[in-house]
Amino acid sequence: MRVRRCRYVPEFAPGSQSRFRSLWEYELDHGEETPSNEHSDAEVVFYLTHGAGEMIIDRTNRVIKPGEVVFIPPSTPHSLANTSPDMLRAFSIESTIGGGEGRDESEAAAQSRETIGHLQQIIDGLPTSMDAPMAIQSIVRLFDIGGRLSEQIEEAMGLDNQEALAALTSIENKIMASVVEITRRYLRRVGKPRHRRRF
């Protein structure tokens, strides 16, 4: 199963009055079914391009074929199942209900998103000498930023492609190298640990 959120070109991103939220691509092998999902603040339109299957909408099964469109109202549980021997491919479009409500929240979330640049600023600003509380706080902060970056990558690109995995690996390597450096700076401050000689 492959479920991927499609990225839009930033220059042509929807404005604050747009109800568009996201476009998703689905590829399901024979017998696969997506987990049941529902959106209290959005309506969803599915469009099947290849294969055949069933749309399960609020416990009602509906057979769908290529070229058909299925509308899912807000707050309606739904899932997609491939009942054909071939791969099923479909797209879904999520739109906020009402006249663009929810867009302000999306824009606020976009403004609070983490960036690799912010992570690098934190790393570059690490003090040359660190006591234990400062070292621990720095490590926790780096992992916190790394976690948010990972969530953003998964949301934007999914985790089933080389580009996303390469981005995650780069972030992990950067954070782990920084943790090693923080440990060095802490040990430099407290001095080498002394080992008592046992007789």
Q: What is the mean pLDDT of residues 170-189?
A: 88
**Maximum Cα–Cα distance across the chain:** 83
Residue 56 CA to residue 29 CA, distance in Å, equals 17
Q: Per-domain residue ranges for the chain?
A: 2-99, 113-190
> Residue 32: pLDDT above 80?
yes
Other Cβ atoms within 10 Å of 42 Cβ, number: 19
Q: How confident is the model at residue 19 (pLDDT cuts 50, 70, 90)?
A: confident
**Which residues, in sequence order, are bridge partners of residue 3?**
26
> Residue 3: pLDDT above 80?
yes
Q: Is the pTM of this model over 0.85?
A: no
Residue 89 CA to residue 99 CA, distance in Å, equals 30
Write out the CATH class of domain 2-99: mainly beta
> Residue 131: pLDDT above 60?
yes
Q: What is the mean pLDDT of residues 157-179?
A: 84
Residue 56 CA to residue 53 CA, distance in Å, equals 10
Q: Which of 4-8, 83-87, 102-106, 151-155 has the highest mean pLDDT?
A: 83-87
Residue with tokens 């492959």: 2
Backbone torsions φ then ψ of 88, nearest 5 degrees: -100, 135
> Residue 103: pLDDT above 50?
no
